[in-house]
Structure 1
Amino acid sequence: MSIYRADPAILKLGDRFYDPVRPAQFPVAIARFVNRRAAQGVGLNLDSEGWERHFHRFEPLPGNLEQPLALRYHGHQFRNYNPEIGDGRGFLFAQLRDERGRLLDLGTKGSGQTPYSRFGDGRLTLKGGIREVLATEMLEALGVNTSKTFALFETGESLQRNDEPSPTRSAVLTRLSHGHIRIGTFQRLAFYDDREGLHALADYCHRFLFDQPGAGAERLFEIVLSGTAGLAASYLVAGFVHGVLNSDNINITGESFDYGPWRFTPHWDESFVAAYFDHAGLYAFGVQPEAIHWNLAQLAGCLSLIADREPMEQALNGWPGLFQDALVEALIKRLGLRPADKESDLNLAGAMLAALRTRTATIDRFFFDWRGGRIPEGEVYQAFPFPSLARQLEGRAALPGAIDHPYWSDPEPCSMHIDEVEAIWSAIAERDDWSPFEAKIMAIRRMADAMTPPCA
């Protein structure tokens, strides 16, 4: 277990980046999910009372922030600029180092009203909390760089919502994340032409998030380009649709976070949409790379106030190439194969995409059946273009332990489609039966063990 190391570095930025707030007082504390594995990684060894004290009542952790901070930011929401947002139902609760020395944030969702709540109640539905747990656990298992759900408490309030049956149960969630600095954080400073603030924020990111103090805004942009290229590729290979890739939801560390109307598409359907209100398909499955690229252009515009625009424009133009390289790498990794030379990897990735686009099998089933270079014998894989894929796999080496886990002999792969999510919630809402939720978490973590064997 790691040693607890508090490091409230955000205070070095000064109070123009945040507002001190107070957490809501909730009538009930029922621990529905606590991530002991993640807690060990940041040196927190908590008993039940400790979890409740710090992640329901939000009493400060030792040597950490004395009062929670609602972070300030702006953002493009479905391409419309909004200067009236910020942490409206959450706050930064604490900062601490993990076993690798990285600075991590403990941030909340549903912890009460802030100066940015506008007309919202600052609360989170229990269903929304359950969905975030399921999303983060599944994405982590599939190798996506994601925040981790740290704790989820049911809070005993009845909430009114327009998009689900009301009144509905309430919750407060804490996430563990590699920073909460968003593209929208830079946009707010650029909006006010705060060049001193932009320099300070860029320096903060280099010093505390990327361990490259003094590297400059252009280098920062390159780091963000690389991280977001990997994120976009991992979304596709996981079959994941975030649903709301607004600029305030793009973390400059390239880490995915803040899960609202997410879904996993069963098949490789580039027009598949997660959010019912995304009528134009702006953030559809296959459009996500383009959406992230657009947001990166907004970041470049902000940083051009303190750096040379031309090198950033050239770097931005090279982002599609970074994404394609990351996509090839992610496809081959999920299949459990060793990388080969660039041409062979490109050809294999092309064959995989051609096979996935037939929608012959679900994304989960496809990667499950062909894992480790196995050639499935089922009739479903006999038609074009699967024979071409089989030829591309000849002579390819699997990663050590790629198919050693008993999971790879299961009759079905672990998945997270909308009918499964709704069934888990129905059991909770109708019978207060948490066993399907708990069983799914166990199944996801078993799959995670199979996906990342120790010998790999």
Structure 2
Amino acid sequence: MPAGPKYRPETPFTDLGDGFADPVNAASFPETKIRFRNDRAAAELGLDTLTDAEWAAHFGRFEPLAGNLPKPLAQRYHGHQFRVYNPDIGDGRGFLFAQMRDSHDRLMDLGTKGSGTTPYSRSGDGRLTLKGGVREIMATEMLEALGARTSRTFSLIETGEKLHRGDEPSPTRSAVMVRLNHGHIRIGTFQRHAYFSDTERLEKLVDYCLKVYFDTEPKGSVSDKACRFVDLVSAGVAAQAADLMAAGFVHGVLNTDNINITGEIFDFGPWRFLPETNMAFTAAYFDETGLYSFGRQPEALHWNLYQLGGALIDIAGEDALKEVLAPFAARYVAALRTRLLRRLGVTPQDDTADDALIEKINAFLVETAAPYERFFFDWHGGGASVDRARRSPMAQTYFHPKYSEMVNLLSARTAARPDSLSHPYFKGDDPCTMLIEEVEDIWSHIAERDDWTPLEDKIARIREMGDALQAD
């Protein structure tokens, strides 16, 4: 059976016409060995009924799904990379493979990484290392469990090639990955058309995004539509910034070509989760100035939004764009407040009281360099978790007189979801973490012994945490 009854193909991207993407062929791989299939995500698309053979055919050899795109499409875009404009990029090792509705009636994209060369590969081989794919599974599973809006790793297939890379031992194993996103239109997509002064395609792209991704009928003047679009993107990107900070996640490369207009975290660089609270912590060894350090991520995303505004300035007008971009900071603060309280599992009060609590928590985290996940695990549920906090390895720090005000504020909060505290995850002694040492250890089992058990166990543990955090 090629797909289940819930499978609903829909390909509006093709309505954009030419100038937005190029039909390409997937690479022909020596083998297609399934290493990860996300049946939980596939069930939302009606694709969980695929046999392993069908799965490998569609997501390893990229045979078209029924009623879907007849050929993959490598999308065209430009981007600022570490704030240097690059007009020579685009989908260089990936493509849009399929579009369809999910069980929530959202249009979803299946896009690839490591699927072969395209017109935008430049000197690259269009491939993905198996380690890179494994790392992305771990990042997306953890972010999803923490409640962040993220791409989801849909499939990882080992392809039997040996790749040479300068930043890891070579030759190394190869893979092709499929990710599930609400959309793959990037800020850099708009920058490309602005670069060529192609206002016709910019207007068409604005209309497409309003209708397809924001369920908004594109009415009014061109300027009105463009400003409405930027306003909606700004709200999503502010939420994305809050997701990154609340998750203690460092993306690594927040370039404009890595920011999609639907506000999901995707196109990861050399990501890291915080080992301890440090605003200057960077994930990329090549980020010498700390441009994308943990604490500067909201600033980086705000800057990227201004590049979107710059791309649309000819059709929207500078003053109007400044007006719709102005609320970003307030939106970010509000979104971060919501997400931090959700991570703490406590009931919100009023903004003043909530901000006072968060201010004390942030000061504590920074001053003590406390392990990020440990803190939110120990204090989940507020006053209901005081005993767990007292049993924590951090107890002496928590209950130091210097932090008594924070503890009193936390202790006065009620649990937003009391049932979550009876979940087996919170009956344990330690939080689920995803530190670089764990990532490397999991990979070493795969690289040295082809042992996938630690990865499978970690995914199960992450999903257990996600279930606990979302318990009602």
Query: TM-score, length-normalised on structure 1?
Result: 0.98
Q: Could you tell me which amino acid in structure 2 is paired with residue 324 of structure 1?
A: V
Aligned equivalents of 2:68, 2:83: Cα separation in 1: 37
Match of 2:341 among 305, 326, 332: 332
Q: Could you tell me which amino acid in structure 2 is paired with residue 49 of structure 1?
A: A
Superposition map of 1:53-452 within 5 A: 53-215=57-219, 216-373=225-382, 374-375=385-386, 376-377=389-390, 378-383=395-400, 385-400=402-417, 401-452=419-470
Task: Check whether the contact 1:351–1:385 (CA below 8 A) recurs between aligned residues.
Answer: no
Aligned equivalents of 2:290, 2:372: Cα separation in 1: 20
Task: Check whether the contact 2:93–2:118 (CA below 8 A) recurs between aligned residues.
Answer: yes
Aligned equivalents of 1:336, 1:226: Cα separation in 2: 24
**Deviation, structure 1 residue 318:** 2.2
Q: Where do 5+ consecutive residues of structure 2 fail to align?
A: 220-224
SS of residue in 1 equivalent to 2:156: strand
Q: Percent identity?
A: 55
Task: Check whether the contact 2:277–2:369 (CA below 8 A) recurs between aligned residues.
Answer: no
Aligned equivalents of 1:448, 1:386: Cα separation in 2: 29
Distance 1:77 1:360, change over 3 A: closer
Aligned equivalents of 2:253, 2:106: Cα separation in 1: 27
Match of 1:38 among 21, 41, 51: 41
Task: Check whether the contact 2:21–2:75 (CA below 8 A) recurs between aligned residues.
Answer: yes
Query: Between Structure 1 and Structure 2, how many residues are aligned?
Result: 454
**Deviation, structure 1 residue 35:** 0.3
Task: Check whether the contact 1:414–1:447 (CA below 8 A) recurs between aligned residues.
Answer: yes
**Deviation, structure 1 residue 100:** 1.3
| 1:85-126 alpha-carbon deviations (Å, 9 max, x no partner) | 000000000000011111110000000000000000000000
Aligned equivalents of 2:406, 2:54: Cα separation in 1: 53
Match of 2:15 among 6, 12, 16: 12
Q: Where do 5+ consecutive residues of structure 1 fail to align?
A: none
Q: Could you tell me which amino acid in structure 1 is paired with residue 403 of structure 2?
A: F
Distance 1:293 1:28, change over 3 A: same
Q: Could you tell me which amino acid in structure 2 is paired with residue 12 of structure 1?
A: D
SS of residue in 1 equivalent to 2:132: helix
Q: Could you tell me which amino acid in structure 2 is paired with residue 105 of structure 1?
A: D
SS of residue in 2 equivalent to 1:81: strand
| 1:222-268 alpha-carbon deviations (Å, 9 max, x no partner) | 11111111111111111100000000001111111012300111111
Task: Check whether the contact 1:94–1:105 (CA below 8 A) recurs between aligned residues.
Answer: yes
**Deviation, structure 1 residue 2:** 6.9
Aligned equivalents of 1:418, 1:314: Cα separation in 2: 41
Identify which range, 309-318 or 126-135, moves more after superposition: 309-318
Aligned equivalents of 1:404, 1:141: Cα separation in 2: 18
SS of residue in 1 equivalent to 2:154: strand
Q: Could you tell me which amino acid in structure 2 is paired with residue 397 of structure 1?
A: T
**Deviation, structure 1 residue 309:** 2.3
Q: Which aligned segments of 4 or more residues in structure 1 are displaced greater than 6 angstroms?
A: none
Distance 1:169 1:137, change over 3 A: same
Q: Could you tell me which amino acid in structure 1 is paired with residue 65 of structure 2?
A: L
Aligned equivalents of 2:180, 2:369: Cα separation in 1: 37
Query: TM-score, length-normalised on structure 2?
Result: 0.94
Aligned equivalents of 2:29, 2:137: Cα separation in 1: 20
**Deviation, structure 1 residue 319:** 0.9
**Deviation, structure 1 residue 426:** 0.7
Q: Could you tell me which amino acid in structure 2 is paired with residue 146 of structure 1?
A: T
**Deviation, structure 1 residue 360:** 4.9
Distance 1:82 1:360, change over 3 A: closer
Task: Check whether the contact 1:207–1:214 (CA below 8 A) recurs between aligned residues.
Answer: yes
Task: Check whether the contact 1:263–1:418 (CA below 8 A) recurs between aligned residues.
Answer: yes
Task: Check whether the contact 1:38–1:150 (CA below 8 A) recurs between aligned residues.
Answer: yes
